[in-house]
Amino acid sequence: MKKIAIYIVTLFIIYSCELVDVLENDPPNNLVAENVVKNETDARALLNGIYSTITLGTSDEYYMYTELIPSVLIGSMSRLGLTSSSLEFAENELQFDNSIVNNFWITFYKVIDIANNSIALTGNLTEAQITTENKKEIIGEAHFLRAMATFDVLRYYGQFFDLNSNLGIVLRTEPSNFVTRDKARSTVAESYAQILSDLDIAIADASEYSVSYRGSKTAAKALKTKVLLFMGMYAEAAALADEVINDATTSLEPSFEAAFANGVNSSEMIFMTYRDENSDTEDRNIKRFYFGRAGNTWFPGVMSGDPRAPQTFNGLTVLKTNNRDTFRPTYFMRLAEMYLIKAEGLAFSGATLLEASAPLNSIRNRAGIGDSPATNIDELKDDIFNEIVRELAFENGSEWFAAIRFDKAMTLKPTITSSNQYILPIPEDEIDGNGAITLGDQNPGYE
């Protein structure tokens, strides 16, 4: 018990203090094992530690690599960096001992672990220490953040595209310690079930949408929409996307440019990182070095002539996620994506051309390019894919995962020759340190 207590105190001190400037929530004083979370202030500070892991400090693996890694894998960005580990992504030849692959994995599970501590320790508070409603909201928000990180682990390290696959991920739903450390991989179906369970709790218990940089019922519903789409539950995804579009918590900005120019105050941002002049410093936002990275193969052709191109990239310089005026935030979900998910879900679930093209045309017309010229569903699917690229490039891997869903990855990038390359290897450190995983549990192609 002593080791567990020390672990919790250390985790709490590290991850609650970093976000104070951002969310103006002072960390508690006199932290000891017996009172690490003893009231609502403590519980909120621990919850804030999840956000700090995503957005601040040295955790560029989350806020930055969820843009860089998928974009480089599909070629909308040309490079991750200049190290040998970075070049493996551009060549789609990842090695199981790649240090970036390992750090990416660690960051996701760090978020999951702090969320697990938030859920467990806040859950132990009594009615005298926190109101029932506030307790539910904090725990609901932590469930949303755990679901997001778990979904990201599955998307990058599990065969998310095959519901019948045994190659899911290591599901962690309780704080990690020397007792819970060893745990086997779950199946893909089990992984999705856990994510959906967390999101249903968040939809029921998290707070209503108020700001774009906090988890909310709307954010949880939007993320569930994406999960259903990845599961191939197209009609369900389209229906839930329609709910998000019409629930009046967010609304499309009048122009593509305004969606980003307004930063965290944009009316269509559902979930993004909080950035300000204090967090956009040289040591806290490496995205300032995004110059010279825009892809120069298939990507410029799709963007050619589109009014959104000048806000997306300039030559080889990435602009959208490297906007100094808005302090270079990371965009996880915004309302425009819900329109495109609705279009994709309808197109793949037997809807008519008119029905499936309607949400797509909302985004096309906002961009100033008019209605889709598609004359049949197959043409419309191509148009939806191209619109995902034009509208959502560099946003949370949108173009990479769309290329997989639309079966275009191998066509767009010749170095992708197998579906094994759709996911990353389980890191060597996880195999060595987790007694329930062996070399036989490694993803195919990385043995």
Q: What is the pLDDT of residues 245-262, one digit of tens each?
A: 999 999 999 999 999 999
What's the rounded mean pLDDT across residues 313-318?
91
With bands split at pLDDT 50, 70 and 90, how would you rate the model's confidence at 30?
A: very low
Determine the pLDDT at residue 168: 98
Mean confidence (pLDDT) of the chain? 90
| DSSP state letter for 141 | H
Query: What CA–CA distance (Å, rounded) separates 243 from 221?
Result: 9
pLDDT of residue 26: 35
Q: Is the predicted pLDDT of residue 158 greater than 70, yes or no?
A: yes
What pLDDT digit, counting tens, does each position of 360-417 carry? 999 999 999 999 999 999 999 999 999 999 999 999 999 999 999 999 999 999 999 9
Cα–Cα distance measured from residue 326 to residue 329, given in angstroms and rounded to the nearest whole number = 7
The confidence score (pLDDT) of residue 89 equals: 96
* 314 beta partners: 317
Q: Which of 25-39, 276-290, 310-324 has the lowest mean pLDDT?
A: 25-39
- The pTM (predicted TM-score) of the whole model is 0.92
Instruction: pLDDT band for 324, please (50, 70, 90 cuts).
Output: confident
Question: Thinking of the domain 2-422, which architecture would CATH place it in?
Answer: Alpha Horseshoe (1.25)
Q: Percentage of residues in the chain with pLDDT exceeding 90?
A: 80
Mean pLDDT of 64-75: 95
Residue 282 has pLDDT above 60, yes or no: yes
pLDDT at 275: 84
Q: Are 113 and 176 in contact (CB under 8 A)?
A: yes
Which H or E run contains 22? helix 20-23
Mean pLDDT within 128-138:
97
pLDDT value for 21: 37
* 43, 135, 385 from 393: Cα distances, Å: 36, 37, 11
Closest among 98, 347, 160, 367 to 254, alpha carbons compared: 367
Please indicate whether residue 374 or residue 288 has the higher confidence score (pLDDT): 374
- What confidence score (pLDDT) does residue 410 get? 98
pLDDT band at 325 (very low <50, low <70, confident <90, very high): confident
* Residue 145's pLDDT band (cuts 50, 70, 90): very high
User: What pLDDT does 63 receive?
Assistant: 87
Domain ranges (residues) in the chain: 2-422
pLDDT for 178: 78
8 Å CB contact between 169 and 153: yes
Higher-confidence position of 312 and 316: 312
When pLDDT is averaged across residues 151-172 and rounded to a whole number, the result is 98
Give the pLDDT of residue 56.
67
Amino acid 166: pLDDT: 97
Do 307 and 369 contact (CB within 8 A), yes or no? Answer: yes
Buried b (16+ CB within 10 A) or exposed e, 317-346: ebbbbbbeebbbbbbbbbbbbbbbbbbbbb
**Higher per-residue pLDDT: 382 or 328:** 382
At 31, the pLDDT band (50, 70, 90 cuts) reads: very low
pLDDT at residue 9 in the model: 43
5 pLDDT higher than 70? no
Higher pLDDT, 191 or 285: 191
Q: What number is the average pLDDT over the span 44-49?
A: 96
45 pLDDT more than 60? yes
Spatial distance between the Cα atoms of 61 and 80, rounded to a whole number of angstroms: 12
What pLDDT sits at residue 59? 56
Strand partners, 294: 77
